Amino acid sequence: MGIIWESFTYIFKDRDWIKKLFKGGVIGIIPFLNISLIGYMIEFMNSIYWDKNKKLPEFNIINQFITGLKILIIFSIYFSVIFTLFLILFIIIFAIFLAIFNLNDDILDVFIIISLMASILLLQVALPHYTYTNRISSLYDFYTLYKILEKTWFSILIFDIIYFIVALIALVLISIIAETSSIFSLVAIWLMGAFFYYSFIAFGYSHGNIYLQGIGKPIPEAKTVNTSKVDTSKPIYKRKVEVLESTNTIPDFPRELLEKYIPLQKLGEGGFGKVFKVKRKGGTLPLAIKVPNLEERAKKYLLKEINAWKNLNHPNIVKFYDAFIEPIPHIEMEYIGGYKLNGKTVKDLDKYPKPTNPEEAIKLIKGIAEGLKHAHNKDIIHRDIKPSNILLTENLTPKITDWGLAKIGAKSTTATTTKGLTLLYSAPEQIDEEEYGKTDKRTDIYQLGLIFYELLTGKLPYEGNTPTQVSLKIVNPSKKPTPPSKIDPKLSIFDGIFEKLLAKRKENRYQSIEEFLEALNSIEDIIKEKEKFKDTLTKTTQILKTSTDKREIKKLTKNLIETTAKLALNCARVNDKVGLLDTLELLKDYAKSEESKKELEGAISHIEYLIKEGLPIGGDTIERLEVLLNRIKREGD
């Protein structure tokens, strides 16, 4: 009875109850807009489930309206289905009784009323159950709903009776006020809206708390369960069922979850937690669950921080199903089978062989970038992009996982991480916020650059024997990554892109994923151009050696100069200094005037200096090159 009494008085415990009641009353009298109060109730019920303070939420009419409309649609359909099922069931019973006892047809009305009442009672369990699980499928888990209802039906019935009496008194008083005068009739309208708002708070508080008394699945009467060891004094969702060791083929799979899942395989383990392949009891499809190692202070952040993951739906993002605090914190997500390579299954990018060829590296990075672009467009940042968080499908499609877990990890650090992050894949601002500012979308871009660098070179730009050494290199502004061309000359075309991807300061990086993808597409085009240029150069050189036709020689020479000049400019635009240097050296033989030769020599010296100092090609350099190359082309006419 304590919960029922509190449900009717809870609003008056809120510090701003007068302000909220007034605003709720205004919203309550506006047709259609008052649907937002349903969303308000759902938000309140969630605070009952996950927030010990159980505060009344603030008004967020748009978001609460969307939630309320969604709930209204789902439960309108649900109620129609349930009522129809009950009615069919009772009509069958009625037909049997009619045939046996020759009852009066009027009893059918009784069965209709019983069907309606049964549907309303079930609805009052289904709503908090759906709010708790956030799965539509949970509405049709009738066995679980029945077991919850078995424990809570009396409390719900008492609440309904008291609410009916309170509502009747309130309506009589409002009617009396409305008939007093025209001014009081306006007050009565507001009072009606206020009572509407008050009702949602009362229902939310009572049904949320009553639900918590009966939540959970019943203990199955199977050989795997030793019921003599079950503490029946505790609510079902807190009971720790003793399961025989023989039923768990994976020794370190949490016992607390054996009642809910069938463990199939251990997928991995890290400082942050363990991942298992499982099947739900009664389910058919495999899924993955992550069981994070969280300190008490970090548990409350779990649902809050990864809630955004639910809104992400993209081929390059692992699907998030649900998250739970009880009986232990765990996360349900899409199971990714891995990529078959040389007879072995590679689950993630961490285990994928490196270095890989540029074409494959670009394909993988483009997939990850597309997933990040989808998230960034929804203002969601990952902050922990690293190879072990990039899962691989059977066709080598990369999928990003663990959205929001970096922030939770900051509340529960381990020896191998700092602020919940792996140091080797941390951006400068994640280590020294005071110097480099706060994390944002450009943090993900930096971490994407680290993965790209490792895929191409097989190494990370900053390595060390201790975490301190790594940290100092990452935040040191004078310490720059080794250009990929120094590791493998064939990678010279990528030098420029990493100067921006791995810039220490965020303002010097690519400012968006779209900008990075544009640069990556340009590099792909240049790679194709280079291949085409090599073929053109080889064929033209062979023809020039054998041809005696002056007209043909002039035409081929002109074509060669134009192709070389075009390639040079494209290399300059993507900051491919080595590629630019090679093409400028080729053009030395075709510069006819002394002025062009002198400027070309100066340009080559300048590019050599930029390579030595690790500086990018500036816009003014590209403009001067364009003028010079156009002059050389004209001289070849």
Q: Which residues are catalytically annotated?
A: 384
b/e burial code for range 131-150 (CB count within 10 A of at least 16 → b): bbbeeeebbebeebbebbbe
Dihedral sign for Cα atoms in the order 398, 404, 405, 406: positive
H/E run at residue 516: helix 513-546
The DSSP-derived string for 280-304 is ETT--SEEEEEEE---HHHHTHHHH
DSSP state of 512: S
CA 344 from chain center: how many Å?
Answer: 29
> How far is 98 from 6, CA to CA, in rounded Å?
46
Dihedral sign for Cα atoms in the order 615, 618, 621, 627: positive
Question: What is the maximal distance between C-alpha atoms in the chain?
Answer: 118
Tokens representing 458 are: 């097989």
CB-CB contact of 149 with 122 (8 Å): yes
Q: Which of 192, 190, 204 is nearest to 167 (CA)?
A: 192
Q: Which of 170, 204, 202, 199 is nearest to 27 (CA)?
A: 199
> How far is 280 from 236, CA to CA, in rounded Å?
18
The two beta strands, 421-422 and 417-418, are antiparallel
Phi, psi of 323 (to 5 degrees): -140, 145
CA 339-342-347 angle, 5° bins: 25
Reported for 80-83, long-range contacts at CB under 8 A and 24+ positions apart, including other chains, are: 82/119, 82/122, 82/123, 82/126, 83/115, 83/116, 83/119
Tokens representing 405 are: 């877990």
DSSP E strands, 93-141: none
Tokens representing 472 are: 């100092």
> How far is 215 from 35, CA to CA, in rounded Å?
27
Tokens representing 85 are: 């099922």
> How far is 94 from 578, CA to CA, in rounded Å?
88
If DSSP states are collapsed to H, E and C, what string results for 220-241? CCCCCECHHHCCCCCCHHHCCC
> How far is 40 from 64, CA to CA, in rounded Å?
6
> How far is 174 from 8, CA to CA, in rounded Å?
18
H/E run at residue 171: helix 142-178
CB-CB contact of 499 with 449 (8 Å): no
Tokens representing 159 are: 């609440």
